[in-house]
Structure 1
Amino acid sequence: MSLRHPALALIAAFSIGGCATTPEQRAEAEQRAEANVPPATPAGDAVDCIRTNMIRASHVRSDSVIDFEMKGGKIYRNRLPGSCGSLGSERRFAYKTYVGQLCSTDTITVLYAAPPSPGATCGLGQFQPVTLDKR
């Protein structure tokens, strides 16, 4: 491959290298994100599914934590198996379900506000009933 524009190749190489993060940087970013997650105490056994018609609201806490507030006041915390890019900053997601339940085998898709478009698609974890700790 011949380089007609070596300066562009250098910029591209620098851009790619500039995006790399070390494991320490990723761990530090995860710790900062977790600091925004309200502490909670487990309030029973985790379940695989929750009924969608019982979901009153969802609260995105970070790239990997969503609290589902149910009718009646119960809260289920879902810790995704991994970080879901931009979920914590966009705080919006969509899901499709055909059985009236949202399950740990389902996925969510981050929704970007501007311009409106879909983002990362990520798997869910189990739904842990929790009581949010008073601060």
Structure 2
Amino acid sequence: MKQNLFILAGAAIGLSACVSAQAGDQEMSEEAALELAKYEATGETRTCLSTTQIRSIDPIDDYTFLVRGTGRDVYLNKVSGKCSGASRSGNRLQYRISSNQLCRNEIITVVDNTLNMTVGSCGLGSFEELQEIPEDDAAE
């Protein structure tokens, strides 16, 4: 009986990992899943971030961005649709805003640096606050 409980718990954990490894309706890349394994969700979300608080927007695949803030702030942003070419080396992200905030539904444009040409675009999702897992805990 005890062994069956462990098997069921393991299956539930596996199913939970599969669900959390999806961005919207899209399967998350292995690279994105490995990067996100360094963090845990806090349950806090924001619709906007002040641009003065944003240090970088790092695409970890074409559906998932890590937004790094000043200090230790890190946010997960699952974009709507696919942001083609966002994670490709040699491309950059750009956006235009009318205020000092970057918000959900703002359009991010992907530009090929070599050709200086737009290769994709997408709308931002909500900013989900993440907390870095201490390396000691991640090893367990």
TM exceeds 0.5?
yes
CA distance in 2 between partners of 1:132 and 1:60 (Å):
17
Q: Flag as ranges the 4+ runs of structure 1 deviating above 4 A.
A: none
Shift of 1:59: 1.6
For structure 2, the residue ranges without an aligned partner over 5 or more in a row are 1-25
Q: Does residue 1:38 correspond to 2:32, yes or no?
A: no
User: Where does residue 56 of structure 2 map in the other structure?
Assistant: 57
User: Where does residue 82 of structure 2 map in the other structure?
Assistant: 83
* Larger Rg over CA atoms: 1
Equivalent AA in structure 1 for residue 36 of structure 2: P
CA distance in 2 between partners of 1:43 and 1:52 (Å):
21
Shift of 1:44: 3.8
2:29–2:61 CA contact under 8 A, matched in 1: no
Tell me the TM-score normalized by structure 2.
Answer: 0.67
CA distance in 2 between partners of 1:37 and 1:82 (Å):
20
User: Where does residue 3 of structure 1 map in the other structure?
Assistant: none
2:111–2:119 CA contact under 8 A, matched in 1: yes
User: Alpha carbons of 1:63 and 1:36: their partners in 2 closer, same or farther (altered >3 Å)?
Assistant: farther
Equivalent AA in structure 1 for residue 64 of structure 2: V
Q: Percent identity?
A: 24
RMSD of aligned C-alpha atoms? 2.1
User: Where does residue 101 of structure 2 map in the other structure?
Assistant: 101
SS at match of 2:110: strand
Tell me the TM-score normalized by structure 1.
Answer: 0.69
Shift of 1:32: 3.8
For structure 1, the residue ranges without an aligned partner over 5 or more in a row are 1-26
Equivalent AA in structure 2 for residue 49 of structure 1: C
How many residue pairs get aligned? The number is 108
List per-residue Cα deviations over 1:74-128 (Å, max 9, x = no partner): 1111111222111121452101111110000211000112212122121010000
SS at match of 2:96: coil
Deviating more after overlay: 35-44 vs 75-84: 35-44
